[in-house]
A and B are shown apart, each in its own frame.
Chain A
């Protein structure tokens, strides 16, 4: 498969029918693995990195899970293509900046990705729309075991999988979910939630990971520690925290509907109006408007079938996707025009909000 084919084909996150989850947009697990007896990517010479990449890329691409997928050195991709993969949560920003010797293998359905020579030799990642840790763990566990058949991992019985950074040592797992928490944001409870979650040893980040903002009220929540607990325990622990957050969010929604139904309906109605009629929209504003529409769907103001549309637009209104759809590179103000045009088209067909459930 070629990169442009992959970009234009159906993907797990943009074309899934499983958008039933009110709060959790996506579940993802990442495992860091390194080859025994080889320097980590940050310390390896360019020639060593290329050798490691060739070995890893060949082994990964040969896996049955990667059949008819894409396997490609990062330096052969242009900036826009890399950015699209970042916006789909397939690769990290760090991998984009890799100068040489980095590689990517992506499965045909874009649910399994292996980054080669990012911070570690291998960053194996499986993602699924919705809240599905069990399925994601089973998939990645098999993928990892199959790969281990062909590659000698750096492993110590005492310290577990050896990673470039000691913060990933042990299981080298990062389990995370992307959560849509508009009611906690509207009712100014998010700071409190972040603090509590941090204290429980979990990390909260914005939509695109470290350092990104939380536009669209979307947060990424993941485990922070990797050594001393098994993968099952880490996921179980995280699940517990996530379920509490889901409950908090749903309570906050109920409270908003009860105490300020008119204010809430107004916000959602205005968002719909701007999406249908706006002429310039930057990505942050678009994300926030889409977030309100998604909240409206969860509250029954719009029909359920539109949830998948909003989830797709969360990704398609990002800068690189907007440019790719318009077949060119455009500066930010031109992008705002293109983005608004796309959103006007998407929302022209959507029936008007029905407030009979919220307004009283």
Chain B
């Protein structure tokens, strides 16, 4: 061994070398004694590989500092807490997230339950906003025939979606 391995966390000489197979992929982690202790590698029951890999994979700092535009959460914040700031962080940090998901989960795409009602509500809302914008534009451009059509359609969509008073 010409050059000794360095700890993935603090770059001191590594004395603990861990190889684990998760979902038939080999993951190697090298740690110094202090970091191994801190991560609980020496205690087989309390040691969470997901956590370790998550932090280790963040260490090389691939793309500098990413920041969530919606909530101001930074890459540093994520490194510190292991959690995100808001739902939009999942878009802004996707570069970081994608390699992590592979080691953390069975797959990288959701195949479970879908919130049907919330999604229907969302698409309805989007359809209404779109029609309202088109109606506005048509009125401004004095395309009254188009405007009348948008108005009728808007009326129809609204009526179809509003809850019936009685059956």
Q: Which residues of A contact B54 (CB under 8 A)?
A: 166-167
- Contact count A vs B, C-beta below 8 Å: 130
A227 and B73 contact, Cβ closer than 8 Å, known pairs A39-B85, A43-B85, A204-B45: no
Contact residues of B between 43 and 101, Cβ < 8 Å to A: 44-46, 50-51, 54, 70-71, 73, 77, 81-88, 90, 97, 100-101
CB-CB < 8 A to A158: which residues of B? 109-110
Tell me if A170 is interfacial: C-beta within 8 Å of chain B. yes
- How big is chain A's contact interface, by range? 35 or more
Q: Residue A231 at the B interface, CB < 8 A?
A: yes
Q: Which of B44, B45, B73, B81 has the most CB of A within 10 A?
A: B45
The answer to whether B87 and A229 have CB atoms under 8 Å apart is no
Besides the known contacts A162-B87, A169-B101, 19 further A-B residue pairs in the complex with CB atoms under 8 A apart: A38-B86, A40-B87, A43-B73, A145-B115, A148-B117, A152-B118, A155-B115, A159-B110, A169-B110, A171-B112, A171-B113, A173-B112, A191-B45, A227-B107, A227-B110, A228-B107, A228-B109, A229-B106, A231-B113
Residues of chain A with a CB closer than 8 A to B82's CB:
165
Give A40 to B118 CA distance when docked, in angstroms: 19
Q: Which of A63-86 contact B (CB under 8 A)?
A: none
Q: Judge whether A153 is part of the interface by a CB distance below 8 angstroms.
A: yes
With a CB–CB cut-off of 8 A, which chain B residues contact A204?
Answer: 45
B38 at the interface (CB under 8 A from A): no
Whether the pair B90, A159 counts as a contact (CB closer than 8 A) is yes
Q: Does B34 contact A (CB under 8 A)?
A: no
Question: Is B108 at the interface (CB under 8 A from chain A)?
Answer: yes
Partner of A201, one of B51, B84, B106: B106
Q: Is the interface of B mostly helix, strand, loop or mixed?
A: loop
Query: Roughly how many angstroms separate A157 CA and B71 CA in the complex, as a whole number?
Result: 21
CA distance A166 to B97 in the complex (A): 8
B120 shortest CB reach to chain A, Å: 10
Q: Is the CB of B83 within 8 A of A165?
A: yes
A36 within 8 A of B: yes
Chain A nearest CB from B68 CB (Å) reads 9
Shortest CB-to-CB span from B7 to chain A, Å, is 23
